[in-house]
Amino acid sequence: MMKKKKIRVTVVFNGSEENSAIDPLDIISETAVKEEAEDVFKALQEQGYIAERAVINHFPSDFIRIAESKPDVIFNLCEGYRGSARYEMHVAGIWELLGTPYTGNTPLTLGLAQNKALTKNLFEVHGIPTPAYQVFSREPRECLLDYPLITKPAEQDASLGITPHSVVHDFSSLQKRVTELLEKYQQPVLVEEFIEGREFNIGILGETSQRILPISEISFAALDENQPHITSYEAKWLPDHPLYQRTPAICPTEVDEDLEERLQKIALKVFTLLNGRDYGRVDVRVDAEDHIFVLEFNPNPDISAGAGFANAARAAGYSYSEMIHYLINEALKRQAV
């Protein structure tokens, strides 16, 4: 009997860009991808794959090297290129051109989700509730929204630019914060009405038959009264920071049956609308009257072994290596079509 050919998988991730103009704190999420790649690499080995890692730092040489190695599957963990998150969709586009099966979302989905204002336009057109918003490309001259507001870069991910100072309560504070973000990130600023209440993350796994993972909730119970109840960059990426330690994710969380059903339904609607595939996370806020407001869709969220998505998958009955194996199978199914 012939032995079954072992599948070769290349785990591809973006290198961190050394640039004195970039705030060192802002590249922590980018450098964390290396740890994520190591977790995935070990899980692939555990599942019996022939695994290797490849970092993307230089075009075209790094891409040529990967193409010439001819892996059976590319496990795509690239969240940008040379310090710019806006190139995330372009990297996935190269895998499309190579014709090699790869994990995760398509270039179109990655691009749509990164443009937060465009995504919110789509939400409104399709009846998906989202906080009222405005987009500013220069210092505001007027604001039509009701305070408090939250400010964030309109084309960033990983909570970049979101800090405890992001929530503002008057026009002068809004002007100051928008100007700071415009200068720092050189892109439009999204300003939303801040929804006070609970924050949930709903993970979805799969493509042809999506599975909604147990709902996770960010607990704000340990925050001081004067601290805004938000998931800031510090709370997401700096384990030693008090905001990280005081905003744990609880999964599965306790929600009543009606709210759980509505959260699942709206998350699946978002995932379908943006052509999500393989894995993604929908972030929402729920106010005191249990009204749901979708904040954003996060395609290809962090799937390191200790991240929220992996914890939700475990709550659904998948071990970490089983989840990684599942994603490889999804990519290989597309090759067979």
Side-by-side strand order, sheet with 149-153: 133-136, 189-193, 149-153, 167-168
- Identity of the amino acid at 117: A
Tell me: do 214 and 304 sit in the same domain.
yes
Do 251 and 304 have their domain in common? yes
pLDDT of amino acid 22: 54
Per-residue confidence (pLDDT) for residue 82, from 0 to 100:
83
Question: What's the total number of domains in the chain?
Answer: 3
pLDDT tens across 231-249, in order?
888 888 778 888 889 999 9
What's the maximum distance between 2 C-alpha atoms anywhere in the chain? Answer: 75
Q: Could you tell me the pLDDT band of residue 17, with boundaries at 50, 70 and 90?
A: low
pLDDT category at 1 given cuts 50, 70, 90 is very low
Beta bridge partners of 74: 10, 102
Q: Of 147, 172, 193, which residue constitutes the final position of a domain?
A: 193
To the question of pTM greater than 0.75 for the whole model, the response is yes
Q: How far is CA 235 from CA 37, 158, 177, 246, in A?
A: 22, 11, 19, 8
Q: Does residue 111 belong to any structural domain of this protein?
A: no
Percentage of the chain beyond pLDDT 90 is 80
Q: Residue type at 113?
A: A
* 109: in domain: no
Q: How far apart are CA 70 and CA 93, in angstroms?
A: 17
Same-domain status, 256 and 289: yes
The CATH number of residue 262's host domain is: 3.30.470.20
Question: Same domain, yes or no, for 303 and 227?
Answer: yes
Question: What's the rounded Cα separation, in Å, for the pair 102 and 60?
Answer: 19
The band of 24, judged by pLDDT with boundaries at 50, 70 and 90, is low
What's the count of helices (H) and strands (E) in the chain, helices before strands?
A: 11, 13
Question: Does 22 fall in a domain?
Answer: yes
How sure is the predictor about 21, in pLDDT bands with cuts at 50, 70 and 90?
very low
DSSP letter, residue 3: P
Q: Distance between the two ends of the chain, CA-based, in angstroms?
A: 27
Give dist(CA 92, CA 88) in Å, integer: 7
Please name the residue ranges forming H helices in the chain: 28-46, 61-69, 88-98, 107-114, 116-125, 171-185, 233-237, 242-245, 257-273, 308-315, 320-336
278: pLDDT confidence band, cut at 50, 70 and 90?
very high
Judgement on whether residues 90 and 141 belong to the same structural domain of the protein: no
* Residue 239 structure tokens: 């384990």
Domain boundary among 63, 89, 104: 104
Task: Say which residue the tokens 């962090």 belong to.
Answer: 302
Tokens for 218? 């960010």
Q: Does 24 reside within a domain?
A: yes
Higher pLDDT, 30 or 60: 60
> pLDDT at position 193, please?
98
pLDDT tier at 23 (50, 70, 90 boundaries)?
low
Higher pLDDT, 3 or 177: 177
Per the DSSP assignment, residues forming a β-bridge with 205 are: 211, 279
Q: Does 81 map to a domain?
A: yes
* CA separation for the pair 302, 236 (Å, rounded): 11
pLDDT digits (tens, 9 = 90+) for 156-214: 887 888 998 999 999 999 999 999 999 999 999 999 999 999 999 999 999 877 899 99
Q: Is 320 contained in some domain?
A: yes
Is 125 within a domain? no
In this predicted structure, what is the pLDDT of residue 300? 96
- Residue 3's pLDDT is 44
Task: Tell me the mean pLDDT in the region 62-85.
Answer: 93
Looking at the fold, whether 157 and 236 belong to one and the same domain comes out as no
Same domain, 208 and 279: yes
Is the pLDDT at 28 greater than 70, yes or no?
A: no
- Tell me the two tokens of residue 115: 């443009």
Joined together, the tokens standing for residue 276 give: 């999500």
The tokens for 188 are 């439009």
Say which amino acid occupies 312: A
| Average model confidence (pLDDT) across the chain | 92
Is the Cβ–Cβ distance between 192 and 131 less than 8 Å?
Answer: yes
Range with lowest mean pLDDT among 14-23, 97-106, 300-309: 14-23
Cα radius of gyration (the chain): 20
Q: 223: domain range?
A: 196-336
248 and 308 inside one domain: yes
Q: What three-state secondary structure class fits 76?
A: strand
Tokens standing for residue 252? 């599965």
